[in-house]
């Protein structure tokens, strides 16, 4: 009941909630606090300045992306400010949180256990509050595709909400070819995706370390894949945890469009770079998308009528039942 009532309104958090951990790349301790924000604020990162330096505010927006190697980094004219934004953004996007300030006191969002679940738990702790403003979504109107050579992404129209179709192929006996398709809603995200962890290959570790990445990576926050087995004592959480995690990353990166997406996203052998290229290409083609308010309350968007019921049950209602 609450769900239907809230589906068309913007949301924020009822209270603040804090998580602490380390950055997977920096290895440094960091505290992240989710704060309520007013309607039409969107998702904003507040990077606290160390030792009296000024704080920096960064809208979670594809135009603020400064790097996509191994993580999605946001910054501004002064350089990168917050790294590894994707898992907290995935949790916020999937649970339908429109307005929030994400305060971090270090250069990187804490990796926690490598999944989005600790951020889901933080959102649950804070609670979700409706705001008296209609939710605005980005509706994909025609297919847009980026990539080449077997690594590509595509966004195409979809009846309602966000669908993710992820496909990976690794030349490794434990992973190989995996596909995962999901209609992203709070319940399905919690059940199918939130627990899927970051993964990495033992063979890449030395190279990553020497380049200054993955300095905080450990069995506590990464599924570590060796030649023929997973080295973590507890094994994997899903047999296809790898492709599920790619879906989590995609949801987080797609949040950088700045509003919930209504469309189907297919990513084949992709990653942060491809996700970012996809959002950039979509937003650049003004004929490929439009803003729609939710719910449409019986009115049609001119020029592209939906099949009956197309908007009847928006997928972004926060689940507070």
Q: In the range 196-225, which residues lie near Zn ion by CB under 5 A? A: 198
The region of 92-100, 147-155, 249-257, 293-301 touching Zn ion under the rule CB under 5 A is 249-257
Residue ranges of E strands in the chain:
9-13, 17-22, 29-36, 43-47, 56-59, 65-67, 73-76, 79-82, 100-104, 128-140, 144-148, 151-156, 162-170, 176-184, 199-201, 223-225, 261-268, 289-294
CA atoms within 13 A on the CB side of 224: 14
Count residues binding Zn ion (CB under 5 A). Answer: 2
- Is 11 or 198 the residue whose CB approaches Zn ion more closely? 198
Binding to Zn ion by residue 249, rule CB under 5 A?
A: yes
Contact between residue 272 and residue 249 where contact means Cβ atoms under 8 Å apart? yes
Closest separation in Å from C-beta 54 to Zn ion: 30
Q: How far is the CB of 86 from Zn ion (least distance, A)?
A: 5
What residues are paired with 164 via a beta bridge?
182, 265
**Per-residue contact track with Zn ion, 162 to 201, x per CB under 5 A?**
------------------------------------x---
Residue nearest to Zn ion (CB): 249
Kindly indicate which of the ranges 100-108, 132-140, 177-185, 246-254 contains the residues binding Zn ion, using the contact rule CB under 5 A.
246-254
- Which CB, 138 or 196, lies closer to Zn ion? 196
- Minimum CB separation of residue 88 from Zn ion in Å reads 11
Q: Which of the stretches 95-103, 146-154, 209-217, 244-252 binds Zn ion when contact is defined by CB under 5 A?
A: 244-252
User: Which residue, 41 or 66, has its beta carbon nearer to Zn ion?
Assistant: 66
Query: What are the φ and ψ backbone dihedral angles of 135, each rounded to 5 degrees?
Result: -80, 135
Q: Give the integer Cα–Cα distance in Å for 209 and 207.
A: 6
For residue 235, the 8-state DSSP code is -
For Zn ion, the closer of residues 144 and 254 by Cβ is: 254
Of the candidates 80, 66, 68, 79, the residue with the CA atom closest to the CA atom of residue 275? 68
Q: Which residues are catalytic?
A: 272
How is residue 69 annotated by DSSP? Answer: S
Nearer to Zn ion, 138 or 243 (CB): 243
Continuous segment of H or E residues that includes residue 89: helix 86-94
d(CA 126, CA 152): 37
Examine residue 241 and tell whether it contacts Zn ion (CB under 5 A): no
Find the shortest distance in angstroms from Cβ 68 to Zn ion. 12
Taking CB under 5 A as the rule, does residue 117 contact Zn ion?
no
Least distance in angstroms from the C-beta of 249 to Zn ion: 4
Cα radius of gyration rounded to whole Å, the chain: 19
Structure tokens belonging to residue 138: 């980005």
In the complex with Zn ion, which residue's Cβ is closer, 193 or 320? 193
Q: Beta-strand (E) ranges in 157-277?
A: 162-170, 176-184, 199-201, 223-225, 261-268
Q: How far is the CB of 241 from Zn ion (least distance, A)?
A: 11
Residues in touch with Zn ion (CB under 5 A) = 198, 249
């Amino acid at each position: 009941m609450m769900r239907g009532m809230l589906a068309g309104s913007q949301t924020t958090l009822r209270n603040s909630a804090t998580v602490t951990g380390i950055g997977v790349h920096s290895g440094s301790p960091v505290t992240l606090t989710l704060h309520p924000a007013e309607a039409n604020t969107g998702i904003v990162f507040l990077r606290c300045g160390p030792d009296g330096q000024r704080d920096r505010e960064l809208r979670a927006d594809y135009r603020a992306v400064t790097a996509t190697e191994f993580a999605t980094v946001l910054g501004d004219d002064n350089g990168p400010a917050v790294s590894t934004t994707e898992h907290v953004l995935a949790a916020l996007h999937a649970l339908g949180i429109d307005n929030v300030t994400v305060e971090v006191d270090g250069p990187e969002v804490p990796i926690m256990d490598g999944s989005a679940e600790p951020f889901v738990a933080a959102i649950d702790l804070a609670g979700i509050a409706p705001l008296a403003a209609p939710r605005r979504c980005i509706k994909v109107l025609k297919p847009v595709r980026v990539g080449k050579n077997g690594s590509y992404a595509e966004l195409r129209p979809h009846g309602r909400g966000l669908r993710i179709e992820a496909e990976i192929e690794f030349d490794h006996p434990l992973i190989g070819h995996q596909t995962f398709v999901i209609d992203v809603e709070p319940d399905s995200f919690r059940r199918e995706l939130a627990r899927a962890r970051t993964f990495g290959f033992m063979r890449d570790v030395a190279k990553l370390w020497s380049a200054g990445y993955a300095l905080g990576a450990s069995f506590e926050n990464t599924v570590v894949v060796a030649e023929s087995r997973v080295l973590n004592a507890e094994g994997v959480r899903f047999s296809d945890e790898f492709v599920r995690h790619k879906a989590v990353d995609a949801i987080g990166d797609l949040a950088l469009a700045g509003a919930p997406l209504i469309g189907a996203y297919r990513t084949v052998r992709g990653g942060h770079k491809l996700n970012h290229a996809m959002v950039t290409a979509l937003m650049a083609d003004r004929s490929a998308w439009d803003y729609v308010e939710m719910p449409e309350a019986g009115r049609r968007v001119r020029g592209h009528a939906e099949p009956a019921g197309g908007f009847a049950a928006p997928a972004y209602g926060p689940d507070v039942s």
